[in-house]
Structure 1
């Protein structure tokens, strides 16, 4: 096993939004009063300080600010937060800093301010360019808002622009999904997150399901969308991520390659590695989920609660690591270097061969001397592939 720890990223969670979308299962909460921006940023900084042990001697390769609706926080707030991060953790010279933005909270001056604060990649949650579809999805923006937000992002100097786009929407036909792709491409994004709507537990759509397209329509949408994006110079590098060469999301690539990440903010999760007597230890941490409970851990009067911001943590057992690694790595179309297995899990190559053998025999997975990756068939049936690689099943069998 290599003694080198994996790359380190930082995820920052902003839990508030203007309205909870009926399909959303993220930790987001409708803002009922004024945004407690200063108090929340104070808490984020204290949260980071409490986790600095995991960042000792390591540089942040990327920062991702997600939500909720992170664009509700002001540019001045992000300037203060990013300055505080840079004062405490070393940053890579070419660090990628992404902010998720809702076109419904779009303000011209705010976008310029985000860029001046040091954010260099913007991700717009467009979802669709059909006003009818947007209304069904509970979005607070219209198609014109999305186009204006993208244009302003370019004017503000965001060379890296992602557009989030969903397909398989309630009542959607093939042509409507194609139109969404055409309108997204017309805005010259450098990245598209193009994914199918799924009904997740604990959402309004799950309890009151809308009528979704049938499998025949979904298959046609997928095939025609892939053909159009490929013709436009986009390559699918992950199951739902497309970009021209050189514009893949570095932050997300770190997730898929089983890299490390700090997590600060209400409900944020972290995956962190360390070496103990030459052995790799992997820990997961998660923070207090409810915004008010998170803020209560840090108040001006007491500075910080002795319990800290962490709601729980656990070490990832060696028997779990292989499947966790594969669940991430096999989402990448080109897979990962074979050496990542040992470097990121601490498991030997013999374990890799044994754990993946059933999927290799079914021609769902390719394993050669250089790379580990799902075959085209394996990408289509990824859940089945992973079930074959579940070490618990192998042991029981």
Structure 2
């Protein structure tokens, strides 16, 4: 009988406000109206954390991630306050990775130094493109000059671990334009680049009214293949579907997600996943999405949008949904320790994936093939109950 062993733990903190909602965005973000309630929201985050602490007593936090929304709307003092509160309640690992998502359009001179002093040691810039026309179509509030300036300001402040988010297959974008975006990114010498395709997600403006000129599937694939070669030639190794990093600079927080690690999620709409060794189950918990509702109920059971213990029959799918995003592969031993299930639970699906040359395995260790990485969704579906 296999035993579920709690994996590494991360902390996710959701800061839900933006200056303006982008037409492609399906995250829980809300356009700010007037002065934002920074102090009240940090109070709510602390109350939310206190409520969830019994789920993770004694465990070490390996990474922290401020997502949104636009976390850089919050001043360094607010970020410092929640980090101080969290580190007083949880054991932070030495040199824990602490990431703050930032929008170049909200970057102000002097703030980056404040974030660094607060404890943030990694920044993720939502740049999306260095083409001003493309940025306008995407509804971004910054231009390419502001993007470059913001990254340089952060580097001057002392940040040496920086991710740049870039999209491809944008409206009207051709191969040359996508290549130009990467060249501009390389010139800034980030340690990490997230390079992902624009998708039309339900409940977004772009889904209801698709913009004209989006490259078709073949053109998007050509852009992807060409950009992957450019990234490799520039020293960025692909380790996940859309993530590329210098040696040793992979995003520790996201790696923990993809390795089916645990994460405590606090804030409006935040999701968490917590494994219990005592109960031998995996719990998913999420909070109410609307910021005001969250603040009004934080620290009480009313703030919890739902608790869901993952049925054992779904654990193989949930595990593979994450692990198969990575190039590194997985071992049957890790599968058992993260799910509490015997390897026999996935033997038939692994056999099918091997026959189709989607996965290759030896001595209980499995990796996606190049073909398998191209058809990740099809591979994952093999593990559905």
TM-score range, shorter chain: over 0.9
Q: Contact 1:257–1:340 (CA<8 Å) still a contact in 2?
A: no
Deviation of 1:337 (Å): 3.2
Q: Contact 2:3–2:280 (CA<8 Å) still a contact in 1?
A: no
Distance 2:190 2:151 in 1: 8
Structure 2 counterpart SS, 1:220: helix
Who is 1:358 aligned against?
352
Who is 1:33 aligned against?
34
Distance 1:213 1:207 in 2: 18
Distance 2:320 2:314 in 1: 10
Q: Contact 2:359–2:372 (CA<8 Å) still a contact in 1?
A: yes
Who is 2:295 aligned against?
295
Deviation of 1:281 (Å): 0.7
Deviation of 1:308 (Å): 4.4
1:332 paired with 2:326, answer yes
Distance 1:284 1:387 in 2: 21
The 5 A counterparts of 1:1-397 are 1-2=2-3, 4-211=5-212, 212-276=214-278, 280-298=280-298, 306-390=300-384, 392=385
Listed one character per residue, the Cα deviations across residues 286-341 of structure 1 (whole Å, up to 9, x for unaligned) are 0011001011114xxxxx5x434211111001000001100100010122233210
Distance 1:180 1:3 in 2: 44
- The Cα RMSD (Å) is 1.2
Distance 2:347 2:234 in 1: 38
Deviation of 1:3 (Å): 5.6
Q: Where does the alignment leave 5 or more consecutive residues of structure 2 unmatched?
A: none
Distance 1:191 1:297 in 2: 37
Structure 1 counterpart SS, 2:34: coil
Distance 1:23 1:30 in 2: 14
Listed one character per residue, the Cα deviations across residues 206-230 of structure 1 (whole Å, up to 9, x for unaligned) are 0001131122321221111011111
TM-score of the two chains, using structure 2 as the length reference: 0.97
Distance 1:112 1:160 in 2: 14
Structure 1 counterpart SS, 2:151: helix
Q: Contact 1:322–1:352 (CA<8 Å) still a contact in 2?
A: yes
Deviation of 1:72 (Å): 0.4
Deviation of 1:138 (Å): 0.1
Deviation of 1:284 (Å): 0.4
Distance 1:181 1:87 in 2: 41
Structure 2 counterpart SS, 1:108: coil
Structure 2 counterpart SS, 1:51: helix
Distance 2:244 2:280 in 1: 33
Structure of greater relative contact order (alpha carbons < 8 Å, 6+ residues apart):
2
Structure 1 counterpart SS, 2:196: strand
TM-score of the two chains, using structure 1 as the length reference: 0.94
Structure 1 counterpart SS, 2:13: strand
Deviation of 1:370 (Å): 4.8
Aligned pairs, number: 383
Distance 1:185 1:259 in 2: 31
Distance 1:171 1:72 in 2: 31
Deviation of 1:7 (Å): 0.2
